[in-house]
Structure 1
Amino acid sequence: MDAESKQQHVHAVFESIAPKYDFMNDVLSFRRHKAWRRFTMRKMEVQPGQKSLDLCCGTCDWTIALAKASGGEAVGLDFSRNMLNIGQAKVDKLGLGGQIKLVQGNAMELPFADNSFDYVTIGFGLRNVPDLMQVLREMKRVVKPGGKVVCLELSKPSWQPFKGLYYFYFEKLLPLLGKWLVKRYEQYRWLPESLAAFPDLQDLAERFRQVGLRNVRAYPLTGGIAALHIGTKGNDGA
């Protein structure tokens, strides 16, 4: 699948699954995605007043968590209008409309100036973009010197027998759950397909270094089925 076709396909998938996205995340990850995000927030050590940008923000759970942690401005960006509409409803319900701004846009061409944010995050979205290196370069560009680029994403367990059991679930059972629960077999078949060519824990850490991020840390989560990567932009802006 070429870059343009992938972008169109992924957009159609997420527009389609938006109404049941939160429900299916809980089901398919056994609610582990919430624990992964809490772990990530602890490692980020967000300080009061810091400004964040959350890419591929989906229905905005992480965007909201960032805003609550800092009390500062948080921006969420996603290319799916349906996802953003659900996220906006959450933001409005919590009374955070003055603190959180949601933008429909492309993670590969961010509509923000250089050195604008203390944190730039992407949760479960990097494997879906046409060019992950371009997205990492854009994240580094818009984060401030000394700021952090953070990726929470599915990954690839390496030890048996857990690896075999996980891939059986992820490749065979997960799409069937999508079909049975929300009538979306093809859309949930995309999830294992999107992971197949995605870098593993160490390879993604190396990609962070290749774009110039420093002090790169990588954490496997729940036996390696997910991973957290954090890199820092040099204080000299390089």
Structure 2
Amino acid sequence: MTSSSDKSHVHSVFESIAPKYDMMNDIISFRRHKAWRRFTMRKMDMKPGESALDLCCGTCDWTIDIAKASGSGRTVGLDFSHNMLEIGRSKIAKLELDGRIELVQGNAMALPFADNTFDCVTIGFGLRNVPDIKQVLSEMERVTKPGGQVVCLECSKPGWQPFKFFFNLYFQRIMPLLGKWFVKSYEQYRWLPESLASFPDLPRLAEMFREAGLRDVRAYPLTGGVAALHIGTKGTKDS
């Protein structure tokens, strides 16, 4: 569980790094986050007309991908950062997707939606920043329709040496320096690797998906395990 001061710190981090967030994602992931998202979209296999909720949507890159895949379906992006959402809103307007994407400033711990609302509920690179992972997964499962998907794309922890050693060196020591050099945000980018320290590894997160009531849980390590995709299905009354 995260204290209120920690939650306030997380919020201030994302409010402050919002203007350079997209650029830094490209730099620190060597643009691999784009390939990870394409892989995720293929595994999700969204159908035209399906509805989706994208939690911790940030500057809305994934939200936009989802809306394009869904077509006429309802697409909602939710984030607690006003500054992130404003950047996302600008992107959406430039792509003339204003009428197809709804943005909501809200709390992933208490979603302002009824049970069984969306065909798909996603969270990309945000689950490790929430105060209570189990609560967020429970909320995601709650608002997903029976038979729908709960999807998490997130940083993870490589398990094999020597790759694990070099990943930890990069993530803990070098990445904060990149934040300092490129966007003058050493403290903010020093916090990001700290957020991964207590985050569950791939097998444990898969188990947490099952504990949240999800079925047919699939977990995919990406780029040697530096990221991971988890997909679970909400059971139907007959299953």
Q: Say yes or no: TM over 0.5.
A: yes
Cα separation, 1, equivalents of 2:238 and 2:98: 31
The answer for the alignment partner of 2:213 in structure 1 is 212
The answer for the alignment partner of 1:122 in structure 2 is 123
1:63–1:76: 8 Å Cα contact kept in structure 2?
yes
1:54–1:121: 8 Å Cα contact kept in structure 2?
yes
Residues 16-45 of structure 1 show CA distances to partners (whole Å, capped at 9, x for unaligned) of: 000000000000000000000000000000
2:52–2:121: 8 Å Cα contact kept in structure 1?
yes
The answer for the alignment partner of 2:88 in structure 1 is 87
The answer for the alignment partner of 1:102 in structure 2 is 103
The Cα shift of 1:6 comes to 2.0
Residues 99-147 of structure 1 show CA distances to partners (whole Å, capped at 9, x for unaligned) of: 0000000000000000000000000000000000000000000000000
Cα separation, 1, equivalents of 2:186 and 2:112: 34
The Cα shift of 1:3 comes to 2.9
Aligned residues: 238
The Cα shift of 1:73 comes to 1.5
The answer for the alignment partner of 2:19 in structure 1 is 19
Cα separation, 2, equivalents of 1:122 and 1:2: 19
Distance 1:186 1:237, change over 3 A: farther
1:215–1:231: 8 Å Cα contact kept in structure 2?
yes
The answer for the alignment partner of 1:157 in structure 2 is 158
2:2–2:132: 8 Å Cα contact kept in structure 1?
no
SS at structure 1 position matched to 2:161: coil
The answer for the alignment partner of 1:112 in structure 2 is 113
Cα separation, 2, equivalents of 1:22 and 1:218: 26
RMSD over aligned Cα atoms: 1.1
Normalised to the residue count of structure 1, the TM-score between the two structures is: 0.98
2:121–2:140: 8 Å Cα contact kept in structure 1?
yes
* Residue identity (%): 73
Distance 1:12 1:203, change over 3 A: same
SS at structure 2 position matched to 1:214: strand
Cα separation, 1, equivalents of 2:152 and 2:204: 13
Cα separation, 1, equivalents of 2:236 and 2:164: 39
The runs of 4+ residues in structure 1 deviating greater than 3 Å are none
Q: Give the 5 Å matches for 1:131-210.
A: 131-210=132-211
The Cα shift of 1:4 comes to 1.5
SS at structure 2 position matched to 1:119: strand
Q: Which ranges of structure 1 fall in alignment gaps of 5 or more residues?
A: none
Normalised to the residue count of structure 2, the TM-score between the two structures is: 0.98
The Cα shift of 1:237 comes to 8.6
Q: Which ranges of structure 2 fall in alignment gaps of 5 or more residues?
A: none
Cα separation, 2, equivalents of 1:188 and 1:39: 26
Residues 202-223 of structure 1 show CA distances to partners (whole Å, capped at 9, x for unaligned) of: 0000000001100000000000
SS at structure 2 position matched to 1:109: coil
1:119–1:147: 8 Å Cα contact kept in structure 2?
yes
SS at structure 1 position matched to 2:153: strand
Task: Tell me whether 1:57 sits opposite 2:57 in the alignment.
Answer: yes
1:145–1:237: 8 Å Cα contact kept in structure 2?
no
Letter in 2 for 1:146: G
